Chains A and B, each alone.
Chain A
Amino acid sequence: MSGVLARFGTAFAGLLVLLFFAAFAENFASFGNLAIVLKETAFLAILAIGFALALTTAELDLSIADVASLAAVATGALIQGGAAPAVAVLVGLGVGLGAGVLNGLTVTVLKVPSLIATLGMAAMAKGLGFMITQGVAFVGRWPREFTGLGRGSLFGVSNLIWWMAAIGFLAWLLLKWTRTGLHMVATGEADEAARLAGIRTGRMKRLGLALAGLLAGVTAVLLAASLSSATPNMAADHFLYAIAAVLLGMTMIEPGRPNIPGTLLAAFMLKALGNGLVLLGAPYYAQDIALGAIIIGSVALSATVMRRAAFTKKLNFRTAG
């Protein structure tokens, strides 16, 4: 019983909150509204999956949001300038991947702690974003071939949901069913033991950070396509929520370990909370307060499990006592 509570306690708590919204917020449980929530979850979920992959190797990537903003700006500049959408998309992904690779090299070759290295990258990405835009957004009626990536649909389901599902599935596959994924997990949980066992831990860390950068690039392209615009801080809002989604995800399914299903569920819960509070008519400040309280409450439910987990001990996430 306690095992079930540990694995699904947060999910149950989230379910209770969703049931509350379904009962009291008109239209919350309607198909149309849930489709909107799922669609809005995509940006956060994809960014959070990137953060989770880096965290799996016990490295923090605090640059994801600023790298995503920079990649969006690079993509937007090209689209605005009349470049082919495919080229703009590749450049956006390339900017994300490039930043991730640089983060990986800084951490593993220059031995700069990822907290510092990625903070530095975040500052540079922000500066470059403002340099390219001069603070003015790229915005316009962009070609449908590009905006369709975010605004279009397939079989009646928004493309954003397809992207999220595909990326979530691939990330889960990588971590659970490939040797590389197992090596990434081993690196994160006990890098010295992993190294002695012959795992190239530096390479795993570089891979984790590179994938985080690449997924920041994917988020950027989808954001720019959905909003037909690119600004130098457009993904900033997702930063703390992406971290919250990963940490909240670590309290369920595989408690104490960054995991993809938990991250996806947590991202959905966070977005559903925001949506439910809007539908309830809660004023904006009450929404922030409620959101914070619910996040703390959910994580507190599984705090005991978090304390026991090897991974969180290593990252010093332990709560006092």
Chain B
Amino acid sequence: MLRRDLLGATGAALTLAALPAAAQTPFELAVIGFQMSSETHARAANAAAAAAKEKGWNVTLLNSEGSLPKHAEQFAALIQRKPGAIVVCMGKPTEADAQFEAAAKAGIPVITIMSGSSPHALFDIAVNEYQVGAQAALWLLGRMNYRGGLLTTRFEGNTATRIRGKVLDAVLSENQAVTVVGSHAMARTASWQDDVRAGMQALLLRNRGRFQGVWASFDGQAYVIDDLLQAQDFKKGQVPIISVDGGKETYRRIADPDSTLMATVAVPFEEMGRRAAAAVEAIVQRKQPRDSITTGPYLLLDAELVDQGNVQRFLTP
């Protein structure tokens, strides 16, 4: 009898002791990557998720698979789940405006990464694409001694790559000894590697001997062109290629004596993810004012030009 009472009392005490812990569920961060099969989207989203886990938070990581309807749908479902905050990587605030607005109404703070601004989000973490475009253009023209023919491959379907292309045009308008002898505009997003391969192969053949530099709007395009040039026995430095994004494969190629890829402007995608989680912690958990992080609609991070001079620093983990 006494034993049963003791057991009962112990059980009740344990239950009472456990109650506050059970009631205090961990903070939850939801992260949506617009297209997780794209390396840059995945890098930012995974970094945000990893930073949140390090803080002991629960994380819901979603992939919109590059589909606008799915993006909006996942956003709507997340609002029902009521996470502590949402981080959207490379999202579409204009298209998903209704969902962004619904999140704001539900009191769920949203931070975006490389998505563009939204009146319903706290801010967008990005790099200054105009600066990035200028860095890439001026490095390439410098390598070409500000003269000669240039091949470009563009992507107008993305705001960042489009801005980089426009900045290149502005730089070229002031440096008219460099002329664009051929340009390929990548339009197809689903099979873009094939599109770039086919388009650039034709341009390379048609303009052989007439170009002294190649500009690509992002690293994925540069890999394809690099492979084409290597197959045609071009040597490193013979025709310098520059692009933008950065990442392990890009740094490996820049360091590789056989690769024709010479430089990139490294966009700090991992840092963006970490900064998003840190901003959520500061604003939502520590109740710091949003303006203590940034006063405008953007939190701009620095992008660094990487070439053979500093690539070793990026290769070491």
Interface contact B80-A27, CB-CB below 8 Å? yes
Smallest distance from the beta carbon of B70 to chain A beta carbons, Å?
Answer: 5
Question: Taking the complex as formed, is A275 at the interface, i.e. its CB lies under 8 A from any CB of chain B?
Answer: yes
Interface contact B61-A283, CB-CB below 8 Å? yes
B68, B80, B81, B190: the one contacting A227 at CB < 8 Å is B68
A279 in contact with B81 given A135-B156, A227-B95, A228-B97 (CB within 8 Å)? yes
Q: Closest A-chain residue to B61, C-beta based?
A: A283
Smallest distance from the beta carbon of A271 to chain B beta carbons, Å?
Answer: 8
Q: How many residues of B contact A (CB 8 A)?
A: 39
A134, A233, A271, A284: the one contacting B190 at CB < 8 Å is A233
Smallest distance from the beta carbon of B100 to chain A beta carbons, Å?
Answer: 12
Bitwise interface map of A from 223 to 242 toward B, beta carbon under 8 Å scored 1, else 0: 10011110101111110000
Q: Closest A-chain residue to B33, C-beta based?
A: A284
Smallest distance from the beta carbon of A200 to chain B beta carbons, Å?
Answer: 37
Query: Given the complex of chains A and B, what is the CA–CA distance between A35 and B98 in angstroms?
Result: 15
Question: Taking the complex as formed, is A43 at the interface, i.e. its CB lies under 8 A from any CB of chain B?
Answer: yes
Query: Given the complex of chains A and B, what is the CA–CA distance between A231 and B158 in angstroms?
Result: 12
User: Which residues of chain A (19-37) have a CB below 8 Å from chain B?
Assistant: 26-28, 30, 32-33, 36
- Listed stretches B13-21, B180-188, B243-251, B272-280; interface member: B180-188
- Listed stretches B71-79, B205-213, B300-308; interface member: B71-79
Interface contact A275-B77, CB-CB below 8 Å? yes
Question: Taking the complex as formed, is B296 at the interface, i.e. its CB lies under 8 A from any CB of chain A?
Answer: no
Interface contact B72-A135, CB-CB below 8 Å? no
Question: Taking the complex as formed, is B65 at the interface, i.e. its CB lies under 8 A from any CB of chain A?
Answer: yes
Across the interface, which residues of B come within 8 angstroms of A238, CB to CB?
69
Across the interface, which residues of A come within 8 angstroms of B155, CB to CB?
135
Interface contact A236-B67, CB-CB below 8 Å? yes
A134 in contact with B187 given A275-B77, A278-B78 (CB within 8 Å)? yes
B81, B92, B96, B188: the one contacting A130 at CB < 8 Å is B188
Interface contact A229-B95, CB-CB below 8 Å? yes
A33 in contact with B97 given A43-B69, A130-B187, A227-B72 (CB within 8 Å)? no
Question: Taking the complex as formed, is B128 at the interface, i.e. its CB lies under 8 A from any CB of chain A?
Answer: no
A278 in contact with B188 given A228-B95, A229-B68, A238-B69 (CB within 8 Å)? no
- Listed stretches A3-11, A136-144, A161-169, A189-197; interface member: A136-144
Question: Taking the complex as formed, is A274 at the interface, i.e. its CB lies under 8 A from any CB of chain B?
Answer: yes
Interface contact A136-B156, CB-CB below 8 Å? yes
A27, A228, A237, A285: the one contacting B69 at CB < 8 Å is A237
Interface contact A40-B73, CB-CB below 8 Å? yes
Interface contact A234-B80, CB-CB below 8 Å? no
Across the interface, which residues of A come within 8 angstroms of B294, CB to CB?
none
Smallest distance from the beta carbon of B106 to chain A beta carbons, Å?
Answer: 10
Q: How many residues of A contact B (CB 8 A)?
A: 38
Smallest distance from the beta carbon of B203 to chain A beta carbons, Å?
Answer: 18
Question: Taking the complex as formed, is A318 at the interface, i.e. its CB lies under 8 A from any CB of chain B?
Answer: no
Query: Given the complex of chains A and B, what is the CA–CA distance between A30 and B156 in angstroms?
Result: 42
Question: Taking the complex as formed, is B157 at the interface, i.e. its CB lies under 8 A from any CB of chain A?
Answer: yes
Query: Given the complex of chains A and B, what is the CA–CA distance between A121 and B187 in angstroms?
Result: 19
User: Which residues of chain B (15-71) have a CB below 8 Å from chain A?
Assistant: 28, 33, 36, 58, 60-63, 65-70
Q: Closest A-chain residue to B155, C-beta based?
A: A135
Question: Taking the complex as formed, is A151 at the interface, i.e. its CB lies under 8 A from any CB of chain B?
Answer: yes
Question: Taking the complex as formed, is A113 at the interface, i.e. its CB lies under 8 A from any CB of chain B?
Answer: no
Query: Given the complex of chains A and B, what is the CA–CA distance between A24 and B96 in angstroms?
Result: 28
Question: Taking the complex as formed, is B145 at the interface, i.e. its CB lies under 8 A from any CB of chain A?
Answer: no
Q: Closest B-chain residue to A127, C-beta based?
A: B188
Across the interface, which residues of A come within 8 angstroms of B98, CB to CB?
151, 226
Interface contact A134-B185, CB-CB below 8 Å? yes
Smallest distance from the beta carbon of A89 to chain B beta carbons, Å?
Answer: 18
Bitwise interface map of B from 154 to 165 toward A, beta carbon under 8 Å scored 1, else 0: 011100001000
Query: Given the complex of chains A and B, what is the CA–CA distance between A251 and B196 in angstroms?
Result: 44
Query: Given the complex of chains A and B, what is the CA–CA distance between A134 and B65 in angstroms?
Result: 21
Across the interface, which residues of B come within 8 angstroms of A279, CB to CB?
77, 80-81
Bitwise interface map of A from 141 to 168 toward B, beta carbon under 8 Å scored 1, else 0: 0000000000100000000000000000
Interface contact A135-B187, CB-CB below 8 Å? yes
A26, A36, A233, A274: the one contacting B189 at CB < 8 Å is A233
Interface contact B58-A36, CB-CB below 8 Å? no
Across the interface, which residues of A come within 8 angstroms of B80, CB to CB?
27-28, 30, 32-33, 36, 275, 279
A229 in contact with B94 given A137-B157, A283-B61 (CB within 8 Å)? yes
Q: Closest A-chain residue to B67, C-beta based?
A: A237
User: Which residues of chain B (163-201) have a CB below 8 Å from chain A?
Assistant: 185-190
Question: Taking the complex as formed, is B82 at the interface, i.e. its CB lies under 8 A from any CB of chain A?
Answer: yes
Q: Closest A-chain residue to B94, C-beta based?
A: A139
Query: Given the complex of chains A and B, what is the CA–CA distance between A186 and B3 in angstroms?
Result: 78
A27 in contact with B72 given A130-B187, A228-B97 (CB within 8 Å)? no
A223 in contact with B69 given A33-B80, A134-B187, A135-B188 (CB within 8 Å)? yes
Across the interface, which residues of B come within 8 angstroms of A227, CB to CB?
68-69, 72, 95-96
6 inter-chain pairs at a CB distance below 8 angstroms, sorted by A residue, are: A36-B77, A134-B156, A228-B94, A233-B66, A234-B69, A283-B61
Instruction: List the interface of chain B (C-beta within 8 A of A).
Output: 28, 33, 36, 58, 60-63, 65-70, 72-74, 76-78, 80-82, 92, 94-98, 155-157, 162, 185-190
- Contacts A27-B82, A135-B187, A284-B61 aside, 8 further interface pairs with beta carbons under 8 A come to A26-B81, A134-B157, A135-B188, A136-B162, A227-B96, A237-B67, A278-B77, A281-B58
